[in-house]
């Protein structure tokens, strides 16, 4: 329980990312619109820039 309370606190936003905040990346990758995308990097770094 102690680890759970601190989870994500070291990120730049001070909290872990929420599923709703990451969902758009998954939707884009699953979409037919992404069929022309190759070698792209989709970063979800919480405001710290690309990983």
More confident residue, 48 or 14: 14
pLDDT of residue 42: 78
pTM beyond 0.75: the answer is no
User: pLDDT tens digits, residue range 13-29?
Assistant: 888 888 888 888 888 88
The mean pLDDT of the chain is 82
| CB-based burial, 26-49: b 16+ in 10 Å, e otherwise | eeeeeeeeeeeeeeeeeeeeeeee
Residue 11 and residue 51 in contact, taking contact as beta carbons nearer than 8 Å: no
Q: Delimit the domains of the chain by residue range.
A: 2-35
Residue 22 and residue 44 in contact, taking contact as beta carbons nearer than 8 Å: yes
Residue 51 above 60 pLDDT? no
């Amino acid at each position: 329980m102690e680890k759970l309370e601190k989870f994500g606190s070291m990120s730049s936003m001070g909290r872990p990312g929420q599923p709703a905040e990451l969902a758009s990346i998954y939707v884009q990758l699953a979409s037919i619109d992404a069929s022309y995308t190759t070698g792209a990097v989709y970063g979800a770094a919480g405001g710290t820039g690309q990983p």
